[in-house]
């Protein structure tokens, strides 16, 4: 009897361990090895180089004169290297990474987990979203990850972060989704929108994958909040829904990301506003201002209305609303649930780019101008969106100050108001005034909501 029992036990023991994605809580407790083995080959290391101009000051390192003369000295080119991660999203070698990893790079190398290396080029990059889409050259049958709809992600889900921290090689960390709809906390950009995770993310993880237990991409790791420089359990990832829109625009041939324009100023609804508006709880975005060319204005929206949902998803900050519009994409209509004149209404609003009307009439000053190589344009909705100007501002905006303009303190987005006593309304006014300016010139500019007067001798 004893011998028969032993034989039966031997028969039921499997000869080999099964390799597949964990399907239950009990299986997950055994480890993530099968999941990592399947997903890791699609996460790549990225090495980028760019040439920058660096001033070499004879007082470098001096505690007093080094700061006093920090902008003096000759400029010399220097090669800067950056290290990061990326995720392959298609068999033909489409890769997503962060803008701060590959932006402005002149040479990009992509290394796969099996140590194969390829050159890559940037198809589309956007500094505001900190995303870039690359194309691996001579790519053939690349491993890749599927994009999961990040709107289905829930707080508490298990996730893995895969990347190349500190250049030590591909590394995997685990955690959970800690929060959704984090606005502006990752990069200081109030227009950002992120997933939060406690999976450790360190320098070099930027652009790496945040995957779920099925091996699908839910986000692209981008940054952390830290006091020490290391991971404190607060990391941020750009949702896959936005990544998908970036890939679509890159495949359509766009070199820069086209973001839908609302032409609207708004603010979150707090408790006091909710009570005044008759809302049961604080929710939505209060419309505070509208541009005459805004697609929302064309649909009857007015200051005081409250936008509650975009395409069925609640929005509680302007950043969330911009994200939802960006995911919808240019040329589509979004269903907006709003409180208009005290009643809930659903309105279809077209997603458009900021219009170029009136024409920019961009001008570049020549050597006869008081400020040569200064580029400026008439302000229109496109210029307002590009330089994040006040919504209903008019006049002439600086696009590029040039070397002389930069030395006298001009910045991109400054609005030229008065030049030597002449009020500026158009680019022609600005060009004429700068050509006739005296040697002692006075500039009055608007920067944000501030007025600045600058006097200097040519």
Q: Which of 57, 97, 126, 130 is catalytic?
A: 130
Q: Which of 82, 85, 100, 150 is catalytic?
A: 100
HSE, CB side, 13 Å, CA atoms: give it for residue 58: 0
Strands 43-56 vs 131-136: parallel, antiparallel or unpaired: unpaired
Residues 194/229, Cβ–Cβ less than 8 Å: no
CA distance 298 to 134: 37
Residues 196/177, Cβ–Cβ less than 8 Å: yes
Q: Which of 85, 97, 178, 206 is catalytic?
A: 206
CA 98, 101, 102, 108 dihedral sign is negative
Q: Return the SS3 of 210.
A: strand
Two tokens, residue 123? 């198809």
Residue 34 Cα to chain centre, angstroms:
32
| Phi-psi group of 402: left, alpha or beta (phi > 0 → left; psi -120 to 50 → alpha; rest → beta) | left
CA 258, 263, 265, 267 dihedral sign is negative
Residues 312/280, Cβ–Cβ less than 8 Å: no
Catalytic: 206?
yes
| Catalytic sites, residue numbers | 100, 130, 206
């Amino acid at each position: 009897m004893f011998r028969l029992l032993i034989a039966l036990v031997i028969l039921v023991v499997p000869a080999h361990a099964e390799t597949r994605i964990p399907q239950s809580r009990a299986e997950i407790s055994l480890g993530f090895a099968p999941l990592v083995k399947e997903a890791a080959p699609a996460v790549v290391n990225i090495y980028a180089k760019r040439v920058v101009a660096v001033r070499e000051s004879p007082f470098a390192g001096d505690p007093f004169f080094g700061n006093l003369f920090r902008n003096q000295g000759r400029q010399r080119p220097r090669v800067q290297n950056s290290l990061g991660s990326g995720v392959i999203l298609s068999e033909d070698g489409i890769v997503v990474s962060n803008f701060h990893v590959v932006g402005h790079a002149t040479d990009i190398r992509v290394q796969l987990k099996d140590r194969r290396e390829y050159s890559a080029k940037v198809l589309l990059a956007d500094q505001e979203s900190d995303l870039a889409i690359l194309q691996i050259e001579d790519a053939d049958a690349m491993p890749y990850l599927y994009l999961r709809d990040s709107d289905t992600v829930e707080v508490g889900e298990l996730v893995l972060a895969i990347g190349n921290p500190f250049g030590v090689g591909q590394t995997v960390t685990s955690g959970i989704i800690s929060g959704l709809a984090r606005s502006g906390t990752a990069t200081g950009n109030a227009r950002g929108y992120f997933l939060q995770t406690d999976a450790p993310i360190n320098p070099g993880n930027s652009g790496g994958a945040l995957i779920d237990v099925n091996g699908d991409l839910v986000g692209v790791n981008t940054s952390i909040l830290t006091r020490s420089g290391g991971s404190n359990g607060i990391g941020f990832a750009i949702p896959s829904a936005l990544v998908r829109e970036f890939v679509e625009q890159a495949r359509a041939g766009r070199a820069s990301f086209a973001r839908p324009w609302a032409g609207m100023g708004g603010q979150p609804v707090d408790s006091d506003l909710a009570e005044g508006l008759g809302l049961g709880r604080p929710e939505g975005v209060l419309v505070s201002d509208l541009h005459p060319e805004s697609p929302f204005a064309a649909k009857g929206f007015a200051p005081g209305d409250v936008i509650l949902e975009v395409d069925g998803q609640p929005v509680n900050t302007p950043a969330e609303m911009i994200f939802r519009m960006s995911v919808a994409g240019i040329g589509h209509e979004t269903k907006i649930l709003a409180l208009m004149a005290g009643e809930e209404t659903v309105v279809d609003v077209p997603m458009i780019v900021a219009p170029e009307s009136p024409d920019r009439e961009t001008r570049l000053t020549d050597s006869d101008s008081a400020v040569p190589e200064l580029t400026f344009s008439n302000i229109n909705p496109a210029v307002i969106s590009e330089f994040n100007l006040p919504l209903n501002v008019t006049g002439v905006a600086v696009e590029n100050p040039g070397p002389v303009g930069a030395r006298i303190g001009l910045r991109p987005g400054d609005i030229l108001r008065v030049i030597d006593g002449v009020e500026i309304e158009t680019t022609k006014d600005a060009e004429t005034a700068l050509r006739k300016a005296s040697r002692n010139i006075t500039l009055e500019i608007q920067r944000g909501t501030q007025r600045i007067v600058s006097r200097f001798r040519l």
